[in-house]
Chains A and B, each alone.
Chain A
C-alpha cells in the first residue's frame, strides 16, 4: 500500500450563494484546488465526488459525470464516481480517493464535495436532510433529524449530567472560530445568552445548536506521497484512514450516546497511523449539532465517555486549549453544505498543518484529525494527517 498526500486545496465561500449554481460551485472549488496543487489537468487520473442529495436539492443525479464535465475533464474521459453517505459523503469520497492511490490504481486523484441547498424551500431542505434518518421507522413516525440528535442530548444529559449551557458553549466557541474564517457562512461571534435563548427546534436543542442550511463546494488533490514534493513544498500525508457503519436508526444502536461507527473508524485510523488521541494537535469533528461535538470528542478518545461536557467547561477545545476542535468554525459557523463538509474538514486540517490557517492558526500543529459523520451516526470516516 502506497502512502498518500494532499497537495492542493480549494473551496468556495460557504453560505447562501444565490448567484452560484451547483455546477459553478464545484467548478470553482475544483479549479482552486488544482491551481493550489501545482498539477496540470492532464495529470488527473480519477475523480471522486461527494454529494448527499443533488437529486432532491437540484433535481440532478449522475453528478459524478457532471462534476468531471463542469470541471472541464469530460474530453479526457476520466473516471468520476459519486459517493453518498448522507453528511459523510465527501469524507467517504476522500477515503475512496485515498484507497485508489494507495492501492496503486491511480496516481493523482481529485476529490470534491458539494451541496446546493438553497434552491429549494427551507421546509423542503429539512425534509431532504431527514432522508439521512430511517424513513420507515424514524421519519415516518414524526422524528426529525434534529430530533434524533436531541434525543442523544437528552440521554447524554440524563446519564452524564451534561447541561444545556455546555451545549451552548460549543456553539459560542465555534462562532468565535468562524469569525476568523473568511470562507465561513457566519463570521460573527455569538454569546451564551443568545445560544441558550434561541428558538426551540427540538428540546433540548435550539436554533443555535444546529448547523445551518448552506451552499458550498470544496476540493482537494491527492497524489502518491513519494512524489508529492514534486508539486508543492508542504504536502500533508494522510497517515490513517478509517470508516465505520452502524444501524441506520438511532433506536437500533448499542448505546444511544455513542456513535460506534465513529469509534470504529477512529480505531482503524489510529491503528494505521500508529497514533493515539493524545498525539492529535488539532481536530475538525462533525458538529452538525452541538451535542454531536460533545459525543465526537468522547468517541474519538480525546476525553472519557461522558466527559465531553466537562471538557467544554474546561475550555480544552478552544483555540487556546490543549486540543483545539473546529478551528474552522465547525459545521455550526462555517456552514454545512452537506456533501462538501467532509472535504472541507480535511482542508482545514491541511491548512493548519501547512501553517496557512491565518488568524485561526494553531501553533506547532503537526498531526491533525478530521471526523465526518452521516445521519445520526450510521456512517463515519476519520482521517489522520501529518505534515511531511
Chain B
C-alpha cells in the first residue's frame, strides 16, 4: 500500500472519525461525500463526527487462514460490529479467548498495530476491539 493511501485515512483509522448528514442526521463510517437517502439535499452539509468506539458484535468468524499480513496471528476473530451511533464496521476482536466472541458481545475500540509493509516499509495503525465491561 502506498503511504499516501494509508495516511489519507488516518483520522478514520486512528479515531473512527465519521460524518453525519446535515439533513437527516444519519451517521456514516467511513464518511460519505453525500447521504444516499437525502442525496443532493445533503451535499455540502455533511458534518464531521468522532464516534465513541462503543458497539456490539452482530456477527463474527474465527479466521484460520489469515489475510496477508495477519498470517502469524491465526486463529483470530473478525467481527462486524454495530457502533452505538449506527454504522457497522469490520474489525478484529482481541484480548479475549476466541470462544468468548459471541453475537451480542459488547465491545469498545482500542488502538493497535494493524500490519506493516515488510521490515522496511511503513507501520499501519488502526482500530481493533476489546471486551467492554
Contacts and interface: CB of A to CB of B under 8 A. Distances in A.
A/B: CB atoms within 8 Å of each other: yes
Interface of A: 123, 126-127, 130, 134, 136-144, 146-147, 150-155, 158, 199-205, 249-252, 256
B59 A152 contact: yes
Contacts of B11: none
B70 interface: yes
B9 interface: yes
A142 B67 contact: yes
A368 B58 CA distance: 36
A142 B66 contact: yes
Interface stretch (B18-26, B38-46, B83-91): B83-91
B126 A141 contact: yes
A256 B80 contact: yes
Contacts of A201: 64-65
Contacts of A141: 78, 90-92, 114, 126-128
B68 interface: yes
B80 A250 contact: yes
Interface of B: 1, 9, 30, 58-70, 73, 75-76, 78-80, 88-92, 103, 114-115, 124, 126-128
Contacts of B89: 137, 251
A142 B90 CA distance: 9
Given A143-B78, A151-B80, A203 B61 contact: yes
B92 A142 contact: yes
Contact of B58 (A150, A155, A203): A155
A140 B12 CA distance: 13
B80 A251 contact: yes
30 contacts: A127-B67, A130-B67, A130-B68, A137-B90, A139-B67, A141-B114, A141-B126, A141-B127, A142-B63, A142-B67, A142-B69, A142-B76, A142-B92, A142-B114, A143-B63, A144-B67, A144-B78, A150-B61, A151-B59, A151-B78, A151-B79, A154-B59, A155-B59, A155-B103, A200-B62, A202-B62, A202-B64, A202-B65, A203-B62, A249-B90
Contacts of A127: 67-68
Given A127-B68, A201-B65, 13 more contacts: A126-B65, A130-B68, A137-B30, A141-B114, A147-B61, A150-B63, A154-B61, A200-B62, A200-B75, A202-B64, A204-B61, A250-B90, A251-B80
Contacts of B30: 136-137
Interface of chain B: mostly helix, strand, loop or mixed: strand
The CB with the most chain A CB atoms within 10 A, among B61, B64, B78, B92, is that of: B61
Contacts of B70: 142
A123 B74 CA distance: 14
Q: Which 4 A-B pairs have the closest CB atoms?
A: A150-B61, A203-B62, A155-B59, A251-B88
Contacts of B9: 136
B59 A143 contact: no
A144 B90 CA distance: 11
A371 B75 CA distance: 33
Given A141-B114, A141-B126, A154-B60, A252 B65 contact: no
Contacts of B76: 142
B112 to A, nearest CB: 10
Interface of chain A: mostly helix, strand, loop or mixed: helix
A200 B128 CA distance: 23
Contacts of B114: 140-142
B28 to A, nearest CB: 9
A153 B91 CA distance: 17
Contacts of A142: 63, 66-67, 69-70, 73, 76, 78, 91-92, 114
B80 A144 contact: no
Contacts of B73: 142
Nearest to B70: A142
Contacts of A139: 67
Contacts of B92: 141-142
B61 A252 contact: no
A142 B91 CA distance: 7
A199 B64 CA distance: 9
A201 B78 CA distance: 13
A249 B59 CA distance: 14
Given A154-B59, A155-B103, A256-B59, A123 B68 contact: yes
Nearest to B98: A203
A123 to B, nearest CB: 7
Contacts of B115: 140
A291 to B, nearest CB: 11
Contact of A147 (B63, B68, B124): B63
The CB with the most chain A CB atoms within 10 A, among B30, B68, B76, B103, is that of: B68
